[in-house]
Amino acid sequence: MDASRRRFLALAGASASLALWPRLPTFAGALRGNDDARFVVVLLRGGLDALHALPPLDDPDYVRLRRDLAVVDALPLSGGFGLHPSLAFASQLYASRQLLPIVAIAPPYRGRSHFEAQDNVESGGDASAHLQTGWLSRTSAAMTGTDALAVASVAPLSARGPGHVRTWSPPFADDVDPMMLERLKALYSNDRELAPVFADAMQRSSDMGASGAMRLPQAMQSAATFMRAPDGPRIAFVEDTGWDSHGGQAYQLKRKLGELDAGLRAFHDAAQPIWSKTVIAIVTEFGRTAAANGTGGTDHGTGGVAFLAGGAVRGGRIAGDWPGLSPSALFEGRDLHATTDLRSLFKGVLANHLGIARGTLDTSVFPDSANARPLTGLVG
């Protein structure tokens, strides 16, 4: 078999089974006693619209600002909020007190650049800092002997630094164009050796769609499989793209929120041995404008939403300080005002779930962040 044929076979035959995936990272040190709490950070790159994922149904200004973009069929929660209908499994977690939405939250950065905001989230610095290392890596370094995992195509900023963070991604490349597979159909479908492999690749390509719809569920399942191992990482980072919703937002976020929901379910199902010890933080770099724009979407904003999920979460309620959507309450007259520093959320989980000392959090993990006090009552 020639090299090109072998390469195609390797790409097309990549299985969702971790046992068949090469380049698996190894993690040193078995967990002992109470040192087995797990923490996963999921970064939704592009700016998730908080008012679409968690619509404030009882806010009198919501429908006025959103018009036809308002989510009026949301799954009801407490406190006058609801979850987008695509978040059905998340709603089940909320009902079982394993999901905690945090409203009006954002990193200290207040600009509207995706790249600068994402760097701020991952570095853990203040609004003016341009740190070259990530807080996830610094957390790993602060927890002596603790490995971390980044499920990403390349090492993200969060994974760079003094800690031991391994980067891993599945070998089924994103650049395998479904149209290329279609054109190769005539060549491979009649080959006795390659036909079954090709058919499997075509089916998975169809399942994923051109947008990579299965990427987040696959990544979440992979993270859970690594983390549930006796010598697995205690900390993980998972990223997903495609959350920038300037136009056609209703359709786009229906699909993307469905992927997020499937990702939560995939992690939950694969992580049963450790689910009760796990906290998942789902965050984004900023929110969107409070009002809909003229193309059925929203533009870059400020205040957003975060979700904590997992068996160790004290959920079933709404956390954070809701500022309202009245004209006088909006940040710069256009955005949901951020009332909670995202670092306070991270610090609350790291302190109360992973046991990192406050002084270490204020100076090493999140430098010069003493004013960002850890949120309390997040975990059981």
Estimate the crossing angle of helix 249-270 against helix 215-227, to 10 degrees: 20
DSSP 379: B
Tell me the per-residue pLDDT of 10-69, one tens digit each, with 9 for 90 and over. 333 333 333 333 345 555 443 333 468 999 999 999 999 999 999 999 999 999 999 999
CATH number at residue 137: 3.40.720
Q: Which two tokens stand for residue 332?
A: 């710069």
Tell me the per-residue pLDDT of 133-186, one tens digit each, with 9 for 90 and over. 999 999 999 998 789 999 998 899 999 999 999 999 876 544 555 555 555 666
Task: Quote the domain boundaries for residue 345.
Answer: 38-174+213-365
pLDDT at residue 5, as a whole number: 41
Specify whether the CB–CB gap between 140 and 163 falls below 8 A: yes
pLDDT at residue 227, as a whole number: 97
Element (H, E) at 202: helix 195-208
Specify whether the CB–CB gap between 55 and 291 falls below 8 A: no
pLDDT at residue 320, as a whole number: 98
Could you tell me whether strands 147-151 and 164-168 are parallel, antiparallel, or unpaired per DSSP bridges?
A: parallel
Alpha-helical segments (H) within 148-190: 178-188
Could you tell me whether strands 99-106 and 304-309 are parallel, antiparallel, or unpaired per DSSP bridges?
A: antiparallel
Q: Which two tokens stand for residue 25?
A: 């990272």
Chain-centre distance for alpha carbon 306: 9
pLDDT at residue 214, as a whole number: 44
Beta strands in the chain (DSSP E): 38-44, 75-76, 82-83, 99-106, 147-151, 164-168, 235-240, 278-284, 304-309, 340-341
Distance CA 19, CA 23 (A): 11
**Does residue 194 form part of some domain?**
no
**Does residue 193 form part of some domain?**
no
Ranges of residues in the chain with a pLDDT under 70 are 1-35, 171-190, 192-214
**Does residue 370 form part of some domain?**
no
**Does residue 217 form part of some domain?**
yes
**Does residue 31 form part of some domain?**
no
**Does residue 332 form part of some domain?**
yes
| Total of domains in the chain | 1
Burial annotation 119-148 (CB, 10 A radius, 16+ → b, else e): bbbbbbbbeebebebbbbbbbbbbbeebbb
pLDDT at residue 144, as a whole number: 84
**Does residue 221 form part of some domain?**
yes
Q: How far is CA 377 from CA 26, 77, 127, 185, in A?
A: 34, 19, 26, 55
Specify whether the CB–CB gap between 59 and 323 falls below 8 A: no
pLDDT at residue 153, as a whole number: 84
DSSP per residue, 206-267: HHHTTTTTTHHHHHHHHHHHHHTSTT--SEEEEEE-----SSSHHHHHHHHHHHHHHHHHHH
**Does residue 179 form part of some domain?**
no
